[in-house]
């Protein structure tokens, strides 16, 4: 019988960083694609818009991936 033993519990704490919502991540990637399209459209015309969207979206995705770590 163990009637007089004290029960000890260890508490573990985990630091949890605030996470960005899916909507905010999509907004950042979309805004960078739009900015790339706008700048490239001014500089290079219609063909530049397509290249700017691709580059802007890619850079936005890389930025989001780096910030999530």
pLDDT tens digits, 6-39: 667 777 777 777 788 889 999 999 999 999 999 9
Q: What pLDDT is stored for residue 19 in this prediction?
A: 82
Evaluate if pTM is beyond 0.85. no
Nearest to 38 by CA among 51, 29, 27: 51
Looking up tokens 């909507």 gives 23
Instruction: Give me the numbers of helices (H) and strands (E) for the chain, helices first please.
Output: 2, 0
Where do the structural domains in the chain lie, given as residue ranges? 22-68
Helix 22-44 vs helix 46-68: crossing angle, to nearest 10: 150
Task: Give mean pLDDT, residues 40-59.
Answer: 92
Q: What pLDDT is stored for residue 67 in this prediction?
A: 84
- Contacts (Cβ under 8 Å, ≥6 apart) of 61: 29
Coil, strand or helix: which one is 1?
A: coil
């Amino acid at each position: 019988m163990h009637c007089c033993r004290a029960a000890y519990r260890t508490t573990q704490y985990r630091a949890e960083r605030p996470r960005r919502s899916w909507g905010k991540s999509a907004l950042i990637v979309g805004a960078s694609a739009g900015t790339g399209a706008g700048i490239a459209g001014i500089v290079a015309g219609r063909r530049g818009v397509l290249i700017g969207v691709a580059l802007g979206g890619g850079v936005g995705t890389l930025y989001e991936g780096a910030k999530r770590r």
